Structure formats: C-alpha cells, structure tokens
C-alpha cells in the first residue's frame, strides 16, 4: 500500500482558507438578518409592532427566496427594501406628519420622484450614490451565497407568514392615530395592507349611501344665463398659508394680517382637510367641490382615484356658463394624476411645470406673470376662469428660499423655521399686490373676481399651536380633525366688480364649499348639484363631511352617482 501523501503546511493553509471563505459566506447570509434585528429594536417600540415586523420580514425574505433560491441575496434585498421604506416613511412624516402605509406604493412614479428631486435637490445624488454601492454588493452576494433553497418550501413559509399577519391585523387592529407616530414603519405598513384591502372589498374607494330617495337633474349645457356681465374668475392656491398669529407668542412684522382680509375688510376661515403637506386634498375640494374624507384611508390618493371618475366641479359649472378654463400647475402634470383629474373637473387648458418652463421652485411672481401673459391672449369677450397654483411657500423652511428677493428683511425673532415661513409669506403678499396692479394696468375695463385660500397649514403648525403637546397628542388631534390644526383662510377681492352678497359667503367654510362660494359671489346661476349642496351648506352651517358624522356627504355622493357625475366608485 502506498503511503499517504504528506499534506504539509501548504495543505493546512489551503484548508484554513476554505474555512475562512465558508465563514464569510455564512456571515453574508446572517448579516442582513442581524441588521434587521437592529432596525426592529430601534424603530419598533412594543411587542405588537415587533410581531408585525417579524411577520413582514418573513414575507419579504421567503418571497425573494422563492424567486431566487439564494438566502444571502434574498436577505440583502429584503433589508434594502426595509431601509428604503423607513427612509421614505420618515420623509413622508416630515412632510405630512404621517408615516407610510401600504397604499403609498401607488405614489412612487416618475413624476412623484421628479417632484421630490425638485424639492430636495441633493436627493438625486444620494440615490445615485446608493445605487453605485448597492449593485456591486448584490452581485458579490450572488456569487458568495453557498446555499440553494427549494422554492416550494419557501413559498409555503411565505404564505404562513402572510396568513399570520392577516390574522394578527384583524385580531389587534392598529389605531388610526398611530399613523402620526414617527416609529413602527414596517409593522404599520404591513398591517395597513391588510386593512386597506379589507376596506376596499367591503366599502370600495368612496363612501356613499346604498340608495337615495331623491334624484338630481342633469344640468343642460345651455341652461346658464347669468344676469349682468360675468367677471373673470381667478382662484389662487396660496401654498401652506395661514395666519400664524393663531399661535401664542409669535412675533410678526407690522401689517402682517392684511393679506388675509377680503375686499370688505373681513378675515374669513377656510377649513382644509389636510395638515402639513398633501395639497391635492384641497385641490380636490376646491375643484370638485367634494370631500377627500369620503375616501377614508384612500384619501391620500384622492385625485388619482377621482381622475376620470368624478366629472363634477367648479370648472365644469363655469364652462356651462360660457367660461374658458385654465390651470397653472407648479409640478409635473402626472404628479398625483393632476392633469387628468383637473380635466375631469372641467379644466380645458392645463399648463404644468414643463409647459411653463419652471426651473425648480419659482417665486409667486413667476406664476402671476404667466397668468397675465395667458390672459392677454384670451378672447376679450370670453369670460375666463383661471386656477393659479403657487409653490414658493412650500417646505422645507430650514433653508432660505431666494434671499435675493428680500434684501432688507429682518427676522422677527422666532424659531428660524417660523421666521423663514413668515418671510416667504411676506414675499407672497408683495407678489400678490403686484399681480393686482398688473391686472388693473393690462385690463383696465374688465371685471375680475379673485378668491385666494390657504391650502393647509405648514407641517410645523401643531408644534407652535400646542408647543407642550407630545407626538401622541398631536396625532390624536389631527385624527379627530381639530379645527385649530386645519383652519387657514380664504379671501375675496374684486376689480371693476361688486361681489354678490349671499348667505353662502360665510365667515367659516369647509373646503368643499369654496366652489359654491365663488359661484354665488360671481352671480353665476347654480346647477342642480350645487343647488343641493347649497341647501346642505345652509342646513349644516358651513360644515360638509363633519355634518351628521358624514351622513350628508354620503347621501350627496349617492345623488351624484345616480346622476352619472360620479362613476365607478
């Protein structure tokens, strides 16, 4: 028998190298799970939320394993998705004070991303840098992973985790106000998927009564005959603006409150349906004349859902009376389906950021100048409705926006964020004054009705309104629609025109009533749907969705469905 070969030192080194490679491969499999445990302990605060995290983590991992069969790469992909979700959830919380939920998956599209890159210019480079680091790492994990797991057991484990998550979510449903907590990102996202699907199956997208005893008449195109000359109507979306003197101890410059007064010297309140960021809630209110709250947990996507389905609103009512309708929009038209939604409500000519030639966030004067240019090309005897959507007072207020436009500005002495907010309000007020002067100069004999409104309060408003209130208290007040957190302003101005007095022009109105206020002030005859809504407004003293716990809004939605103005909801 031949003697066994002498392995010697070189063979021992080779064996040790193989063992080292094996250890690194095992670490590659374990590292994502260890990192996930660290994230769970840091972001999930109690046993229930951690249970939701573990089940969601299992669903993600077994999904990738069933697809790729490689546990190391599957863990890394799952970890990447969780980290991205946490970052996006924190970003959403910074903007609208709510963390991400399952339905937010609909938000991530090209135009939404373009909007975020405009607001946060450094975000683009962060994404590129993350991709440069992540892609080679994923390739390395594909090569290092020594394990292959069969697809059928992985699929079975995924379905088991999914079933456990569904049962857990139904047995211990998450409180709605917890969405305002800046924690529990993955667990809340996962549990919201169960409840969102359940709500859609049971109630659909929009609340409405099953049947209605009454019927609305469908308005005829040529049935509008207003008395007297019809004024041009300009509706101005004053971004994030409210009278910050509602908070105690805020220092403001001299003459600050004049911007919130109407032609008659009155200050009027506008009750928005959002706080902090989602301007499209109010966009839906003031164009469709309806409540975003009717969409429940789907309200965040109200303009997308309503696009092509809700064919009722202020622009359509004015077109029936011979108006041409134009909209100036500061973002890309596909953002939250703004272009198609506004077309559904009657906007004929829609100009988005690309059409207007914007270069990032523009001052209000940019949009006012564009409005004057477009009006100059309009037929002189054709009444015009124009929706001017401003953006200069958009978050973030941690950075100074165009300091060159206010060289003599002096800080009132509040927190830096509040002072920057007030400075931008001063810029907006000055640009609006110049716009009124431009209207008088360019169109000296033409009548105008101008209505401005604050679309929502800024995201920091709860912290200045109730500085001693914690996150939980703020969340509960937001969830309960505390009027202090939702009240902004609306103001009516006129040039060569006397606004018509009406009981509908109340001192405080819910957002969905603004189209009615505008038509009444302009002397426009109401179509049957707005006549019915006026009856609700007078009966409910300016409240809409909140009247009778939503009963009036549900009945009205059913009337619109039966009249064919709302379809597929």
Is 139's pLDDT higher than 90? Answer: no
Distances (CA, A) of 460 to 117, 391, 463: 22, 17, 6
Q: Specify the pairing of strand 349-351 against strand 269-271.
A: unpaired
Does an H or E element contain 371, and which?
helix 364-376
Mapped onto helix, strand or coil, the DSSP state of residue 566 is: strand
Is 145's pLDDT higher than 80? Answer: no
What is the DSSP code string of 222-281? T----SSPPPEEEEEEETT---GGGSTT----TTGGGGGB-TTS-BBEEE-S--BS-HHH
pLDDT at 17: 45
Chain segment 472-486, per-residue pLDDT in tens:
888 889 888 999 999
Encode burial over 169-185: b for 16+ CB neighbours within 10 A, e otherwise: beeeebeebbbbbebbb
The number of angstroms, rounded, from the C-alpha of 399 to the middle of its chain's C-alpha atoms is: 21
Mean pLDDT value across residues 120-137: 68
Q: Which of 393, 364, 401, 412 is nearest to 254 (CA)?
A: 412
Best mean pLDDT range from 62-71, 247-256, 462-471: 247-256
Rounded to whole angstroms, how far apart are CA atoms 148 and 475?
46
SS (H, E, C) 296-365: HHHHHHHHHHHCCCECCCHHHHHHCCCCEEEEECCCCCCHHHHHHHHHHCCCCEEECHHHHCCCCCCCHH
Indicate the average pLDDT of the chain: 87
Identify which has the larger pLDDT, 166 or 278. 166
pLDDT at 74: 84
Q: Which of 483, 512, 509, 481 is nearest to 291 (CA)?
A: 512
Mean pLDDT value across residues 151-170: 91
Q: Is residue 172 very low, low, confident or very high in pLDDT (cuts 50, 70, 90)? A: confident
Q: Residues 421, 393: contact at Cβ < 8 Å?
A: yes
Instruction: Give the Cα-Cα-Cα angle 216, 219, 531 (nearest 5 degrees).
Output: 55
Mean pLDDT value across residues 541-553: 95
Mean pLDDT value across residues 219-239: 82
Strand order across the beta sheet in which 490-495 lies: 349-351, 324-328, 384-389, 232-238, 448-454, 490-495
Is 8's pLDDT higher than 70? Answer: no
Is 223's pLDDT higher than 80? Answer: no
Q: Is residue 539 very low, low, confident or very high in pLDDT (cuts 50, 70, 90)? A: very high
Q: Please state the φ and ψ torsions of residue 427, each to the nearest 5 degrees.
A: -60, -45
pTM over 0.75: yes
Q: How many CB atoms lie within 10 A of CB 217?
A: 12
Is 105's pLDDT higher than 90? Answer: no
pLDDT at 386: 98
How does DSSP classify residue 389? E
Q: Is residue 110 very low, low, confident or very high in pLDDT (cuts 50, 70, 90)? A: low
Mean pLDDT value across residues 201-219: 84
Is 85's pLDDT higher than 90? Answer: no
SS (H, E, C) 8-31: HHHHHHHHHHHHHHHHHHHHHHHH
Q: Which of 184, 243, 460, 219 is nearest to 317 (CA)?
A: 219
Mean pLDDT value across residues 281-296: 96
pLDDT at 149: 85
Is 508's pLDDT higher than 60? Answer: yes
Identify which has the larger pLDDT, 379 or 375. 375
Rounded to whole angstroms, how far apart are CA atoms 34 and 37?
5
Q: Is residue 86 very low, low, confident or very high in pLDDT (cuts 50, 70, 90)? A: confident
Rounded to whole angstroms, how far apart are CA atoms 144 and 142?
6
Chain segment 445-479, per-residue pLDDT in tens:
999 999 999 999 998 999 999 998 887 888 889 88
Chain segment 18-41, per-residue pLDDT in tens:
444 467 667 767 888 898 999 899
Mapped onto helix, strand or coil, the DSSP state of residue 449 is: strand
Identify which has the larger pLDDT, 8 or 489. 489
Chain segment 410-438, per-residue pLDDT in tens:
999 999 999 999 999 999 999 999 999 99
Mean pLDDT value across residues 373-387: 90
Is 2's pLDDT higher than 60? Answer: no
Mean pLDDT value across residues 278-295: 95
- Quickly name the fold that domain 232-562 has: Alkaline Phosphatase, subunit A (3.40.720)
Distances (CA, A) of 259 to 38, 241, 253, 441, 442: 50, 10, 12, 21, 23
Is 10's pLDDT higher than 70? Answer: no
Range in 114-118, 192-196, 411-415 with the lowest mean pLDDT: 114-118
Q: Is residue 14 very low, low, confident or very high in pLDDT (cuts 50, 70, 90)? A: very low
Is 220's pLDDT higher than 80? Answer: no
Mean pLDDT value across residues 179-189: 81
pLDDT at 113: 63
Is 278's pLDDT higher than 90? Answer: no
Best mean pLDDT range from 40-54, 159-173, 486-500: 486-500
Domain ranges of the chain: 16-203, 232-562
pLDDT at 109: 56
């Amino acid at each position: 028998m031949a003697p066994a070969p002498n392995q010697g030192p070189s063979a021992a080194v080779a064996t040790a190298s193989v063992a080292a490679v094996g250890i690194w491969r095992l670490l590659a499999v374990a590292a994502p799970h260890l990192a996930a445990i660290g994230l769970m302990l840091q972001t999930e605060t109690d046993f229930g939320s951690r249970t939701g995290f573990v089940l969601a983590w299992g669903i993600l991992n077994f999904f990738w394993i069933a697809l790729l069969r490689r546990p190391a790469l599957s863990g890394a992909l799952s970890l990447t998705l969780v980290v991205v979700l946490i970052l996006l959830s924190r970003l959403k919380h910074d903007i609208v004070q709510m963390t991400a939920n399952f339905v937010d998956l609909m938000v991530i599209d090209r135009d939404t991303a373009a909007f975020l890159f405009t607001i946060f210019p450094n975000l683009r480079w962060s994404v590129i840098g993350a991709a440069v680091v992540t892609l080679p790492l994923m390739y390395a994990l594909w090569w290092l992973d020594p394990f292959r797991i069969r697809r059928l057991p992985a699929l079975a484990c995924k379905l088991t985790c999914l079933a456990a998550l569904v049962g857990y979510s139904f047995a211990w449903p998450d409180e709605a106000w917890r969405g305002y907590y800046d924690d529990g990102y993955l667990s809340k996202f996962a549990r919201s998927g169960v409840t969102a699907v359940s709500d859609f199956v049971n109630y659909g997208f929009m609340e409405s009564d099953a049947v209605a005893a009454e019927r609305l008449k469908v308005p005829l195109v040529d049935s509008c005959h207003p008395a007297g000359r019809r004024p041009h109507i300009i509706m101005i979306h004053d971004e994030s603006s409210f009278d910050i003197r509602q908070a105690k101890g805020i220092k403001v410059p001299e003459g600050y409150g004049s911007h919130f007064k109407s032609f008659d010297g009155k200050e009027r309140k506008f009750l928005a349906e959002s706080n902090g960021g989602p301007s499209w809630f109010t966009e839906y209110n003031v164009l469709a004349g309806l409540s975003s709250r009717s969409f429940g947990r789907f309200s965040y996507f109200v303009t997308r859902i309503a696009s092509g389905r809700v064919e009722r609103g202020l622009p359509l009512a004015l077109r029936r009376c011979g108006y041409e309708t134009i909209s100036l929009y500061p973002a890309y038209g596909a953002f939250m389906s703004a272009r198609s939604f506004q077309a559904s409500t009657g906007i004929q000519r829609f100009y988005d950021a690309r059409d207007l030639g914007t270069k990032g966030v523009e001052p209000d004067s940019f949009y006012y100048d564009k409005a004057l240019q477009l009006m100059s090309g309009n037929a002189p005897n054709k009444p015009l409705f124009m929706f001017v959507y401003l953006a200069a007072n958009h978050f973030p207020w941690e950075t100074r926006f165009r300091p060159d436009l206010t060289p003599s500005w002096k800080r009132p002495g509040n927190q830096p964020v509040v002072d920057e907010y007030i400075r931008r309000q001063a810029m907006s007020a000055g640009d609006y004054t110049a716009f009124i002067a431009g209207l008088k100069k360019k169109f000296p004999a033409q009548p105008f009705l101008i209505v401005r409104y604050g679309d929502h309060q800024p995201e920091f408003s709860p912290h200045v309104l109730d500085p001693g209130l914690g996150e939980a208290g703020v969340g509960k007040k937001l969830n309960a629609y505390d009027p202090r957190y939702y009240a902004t302003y609306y103001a009516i101005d006129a040039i060569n025109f006397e606004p018509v007095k009406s009981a509908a022009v109340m001192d405080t109105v819910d957002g969905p009533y603004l189209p009615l206020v505008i038509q009444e002030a302009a002397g426009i005859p109401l179509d049957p749907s707005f006549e019915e809504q006026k009856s609700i407004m007078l009966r409910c003293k300016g409240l809409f969705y909140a009247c009778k716990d939503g009963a009036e809004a549900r009945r009205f939605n059913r009337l619109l469905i039966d009249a064919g103005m709302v379809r597929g909801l």
